[in-house]
Amino acid sequence: MLGRVVAEAAERFGDATAFVAPAGWSLSYRQLHERAEAVAAGLLARGVGEGDVVAIALPPSPDHVVAYVAAARIGAIAAAVNHKLTATERDAVLADAGPALTLVDAADHHPPPPAAAHPLAVDLATDAADVLATLTAGGTPADVPPLPDDPDRPVAIVFTSGTTGQPKGAVFAGRQLAFITEVDTGNRWGGGGPMLMSTSLAHLGPTTKLPGNLMRGGNVHLMDRWSARATLELTERERMAGLGGIPTQIALMLRDPEFDRFDLTCVQAIVIGGGPATPALVRDARRRFGAALSVRYSCTEAGIGLGTAFTDPPEDAEESVGRPHAGVELTIVDPATGDPVAPGQEGEVCLRSPAVMSGYWRDPAGTEAAFTPTGAVRTGDLGYVDERGRLHLVGRSKERYVRGGYNVHPQEVEAVLAAHPLVAEVAIAPRADEIMGEIGVAVVVPRDPAHPPTLDDLRAAGADRLAPYKQPEALVIVDRLPLTPMEKVDRRALAAMVAGRTPAGAD
């Protein structure tokens, strides 16, 4: 499906710009198709074929996009690795993926991945003719045979932390991409303009929405490192009509001290997703950008989910995450029994549609646990549907929290910090934050009350094993952790302890 869209986009849009690299050079639709065909031939020459996994451990770049398209062209499965992960986290993802080939940035200073990942160092391109030049040797596009149509053939693995903090790969095939594209575009071509890709290319959106973005015929600007100021400058310079991002990104743009000097009259629509948006943020964004706003809600495993329409009453985006997209079935179930709850009652949010993942990569037990008997994905989020059909989120049955659009699992962080010699016990609890949505607070029982660890001590201990967004950002020293009657850490009590304030003893 993806290969066909790229080929038709090359015919329709030709030399129009498809992607702009962080360094400023561009790749046209025709060049995207030609380079992907050449790289596909190179992959075949290296023995990579249908059903093999190609891991893409590259930063946001046209090289990354071309590698994804080339893998799909020969029936291989692209597994993108978030460039923000530490070497340890990246290697855990690669071990789960089991790739036949791993593309790594030659300039990356991380230690090389394990031998099982079959690494190939590539120099990121400096112009369109250079894209993945290392991979184009050994074959020609004529060597790439047509790929038989199979809507159930896996196309991509999108890694999510799952429920335990261990990497889980959600598999998406051609049929999921086709449905998401239909929802996004109505299968119509054209109408696109300049847009910014503000998240890692390993995320669900860039992976599953690529065909739709190509069908629109616009040009996508890639960023190797997002910043509020750079986004404001790019939006003004390119006269972008649409602006999207996680709540943290929108909040940081609004807080830029130079915000009011930018001419942002071009912005007509804002889409916020990937984390909780407060009513105050929604109102502030609407007012200061002078644009319509929509909030979106889903999870990686579901593919797509719900949202508010730009024409909905303003309070919808302030109070809820909207209603299901076309073709999406929303159910609220009792987390313990799986039975549907009465309208208006709280329960676990479940989503079913043709967009839901095929399953977790090489994890049948995890796949079975992720679905209800009716084939709906269990999101782990708690919520209720009001009398107007809007979904309101009230919390998460899973213990993860969302910091700046990224899932963080307390147990994963605790396992690292517990090894610090000054720590007797540690638990991580989320605390609401105006910018990041939620941040992690380390609640620590020190080994020696007279010499407790500092926040810097803990962050240093996790530097090599935790991505920056997983690191704690506040510290509370206590005599003991709150426990439930079953002698387990009382997560609710921890959350109440740190909610909305920095308690006495915090660093």
pLDDT in tens, 342-390: 999 999 999 999 999 999 999 999 999 999 999 999 999 889 999 999 9
Whether 87 has a pLDDT exceeding 50, the answer reads yes
d(CA 320, CA 333): 18
> For residue 363, which amino acid is it?
D
Give the pLDDT score at 484.
65
Q: Average model confidence (pLDDT) for the chain?
A: 91
d(CA 289, CA 275): 20
Give the pLDDT score at 85.
85
- Reported as a pLDDT band with limits 50, 70 and 90, residue 408 is confident
Whether 505 has a pLDDT exceeding 50, the answer reads no
Query: Per mean pLDDT, which range of 105-114, 294-303, 314-323 is the poorest?
Result: 105-114
d(CA 449, CA 292): 53
Give the pLDDT score at 115.
62
Helices 174-185 & 2-13 angle (0-180, nearest 10): 40
Q: 87-90 — which CB contacts under 8 Å span 24+ positions?
A: 87/111, 87/113, 87/464, 88/464, 88/465, 89/167, 89/465, 89/466, 89/467, 90/57
End-to-end CA separation in angstroms for the chain: 52
Give the tens place of pLDDT for each residue, 390-403: 999 887 776 778 89
d(CA 217, CA 190): 5
53, 157 in Cβ contact below 8 A? yes
Whether 252 has a pLDDT exceeding 50, the answer reads yes
- The residue among 59, 140, 50, 159 whose CA lies nearest residue 105 is 59
List of E strands, 70-176: 77-80, 101-105, 119-122, 154-160, 168-173
Whether 487 has a pLDDT exceeding 70, the answer reads no
Separate counts of helices (H) and strands (E) for the chain: 15, 25
Collapsing DSSP states into helix, strand and coil, what is residue 13?
helix
Q: Which residue has the higher pLDDT, 406 or 35?
A: 35
- Reported as a pLDDT band with limits 50, 70 and 90, residue 488 is low
Q: What is the DSSP string of 249-277?
A: HHHHHHH-TTGGGS--TT--EEEE-SS--
Give the pLDDT score at 298.
95
Q: How many CB atoms lie within 10 A of CB 134?
A: 15
Give the pLDDT score at 339.
94
Instruction: Name the token pair of 25.
Output: 């050079």
Domains and CATH numbers, the chain: 2-226 (3.40.50.12780), 227-297 (3.40.50.980), 328-396 (2.30.38.10), 401-498 (3.30.300.30)
Burial class (CB in 10 A: 0-12, 13-18, 19+), 368: exposed
From the centroid of its chain, how far is CA 421? Answer: 34
- Reported as a pLDDT band with limits 50, 70 and 90, residue 119 is very high
Whether 503 has a pLDDT exceeding 50, the answer reads no
Region 448-452: what's the mean pLDDT?
94
- Give the DSSP letter of residue 371: B
Collapsing DSSP states into helix, strand and coil, what is residue 180?
helix
414, 422 in Cβ contact below 8 A? no
344, 291 in Cβ contact below 8 A? no
Instruction: Name the token pair of 311.
Output: 């024409």
